[in-house]
Structure 1
Amino acid sequence: MRCPPTCGWRRPGDAMIQYGLPALFALFVWWFSTGAIIYLDGLPQRSFRWSLLGANVMLFGALHGLLAGRADQSIAGAYGAFTCGLLVWAWQEMTFLMGAVTGPRRDAADPQAIGARRFRQAVSVVLYHELAIAAGAAMIAALTWGAANRIGLYTYLLLWGMRTSAKLNLFLGVRNLSVELLPPHLRYLGGYLCRRPMNRLFPFSVGLGSLLTVLLARHAAVPGASDLQATGFSFLATMMGLAVLEHWFMVVPLPVNSIWAWGLRSHAAAPPAVL
């Protein structure tokens, strides 16, 4: 006897469409978009005007997509909202890494600064970037206020939260600082990072991130979940899991950045980082 739709049972094909394919899509987008941004920000600075022009067009398209799809509760609507949320985040990353939106301080770290003074200096090099991220969150929240489809907003907030955690862990100290991923004009940021095996925040970061991954996955798989909920929260669970993986990349003694070796080709002639 065929199980009625209300019983929460899903056929294998349905499960693949609502859970498997979104996870694969999120994994590919994470890998490809990261590598593409790394490649673009390592190109000569004269190319940045064109990259940023394209990023601005991408931003407006993503914001329009979030507004247009705010009521779409289909699987396609989940894909659209997730992708648009990622594109808005990509704009934030590109404007920072290309030096367009950073902070009031653009100098190397003061080697004599410690404690609160060092933290204030570190904040000052990314202050405008952090304010832009907050403004982006407010804009997406406004566009999707009261909407049925808020996957784009959740995607953006998830990335913001875990990226903030990563920045704090890099500041407090981890084994792998990944300074080779920084473009030449931002290599001075390496001086604000600290190299040590681990810090006290790290276990809380990966612990909370792992818990949220499980909760998001459970919310996606709850019996009777709609297409939007199942697909959208599969995206979110995958991205949270990848964010936790990126945290582990900071402490494992492995050359993990080699997965973006193709993006790092534009950094080949970059000067060494100042640590």
Structure 2
Amino acid sequence: MDDHSKRLAGRTVLVTGGAQGNGLGIALAMAREGAHLVLVDLSVERMERARGEIEALGNPCHLIEADVSDEVAVQNMIATAVEQSGGLDVLVNNAGVFPFKSAADFTLAEFEHVLAVNLVGPWLCAKYAFPELKKRGGGAIVNITSCSGHYGGASVGGSAYDASKGGLQQLTYSLASEFGPHNIRVNAIAPGVIVTEGTGGQQAFEQGNFDQEAAQTPLGRVGFPDDIGRVAVFLASEDSAFVNGTTVIVDGGAMAVW
């Protein structure tokens, strides 16, 4: 496949939380389709490793250290991404935190931090990305929500996380309505159980820690970051030109049998 036949050739994609897990899976999938990547994360070391993987595919990759819950940092992040790449076509709001514990044990500051990163952060990124996407004549925003908190899938100890992801799902619908007239599509992906560093990683998978979840899934397996990445490519590309304001559940069918 030459560069011109790739679905995201010549487009700049910014992925928050792009240094590992689903974020890196998304970035690699986008790179395979010809995208220029901008990774945003708090860990420069992890971003450097991720850049090596992306550049090995022959794609340019820029790195920005930023906290998505900080408004000034987000403004600077978008400005830097545009300066480095010449514009912005796709925003992927993936950065998130996921502490799980009882409501009694959460402090107000901890609860507010989860909302700040998981909900306020995507809103800030979308707010400041909007004028840049508009300059390009349109684009796409992909929010990474979760099956946890989606419909009946709330989790014990997930009061902050589930609330933030439920809010992000509703934010997706609102922004799709607001940005749609500018040819900017806003959609979400709700991952199920995915093997990432946050869930124990490859070692936990090899040790059978996901066997119970796999057995409860109609496809008989759990997911991997590339499963999320492939759907993100679809939502970022013209293949989904008439898809706006929806959430794609990527869980192997687990929610279908809950």
TM-score range, shorter chain: 0.3 to 0.5
Greater fraction helix: 1
Q: TM-score, normalised by structure 2?
A: 0.35
More strand by share: 2
Higher normalized contact order (CA 8 Å, seq sep 6+, divided by chain length): 1
Normalising by structure 1, we get a TM-score of 0.33
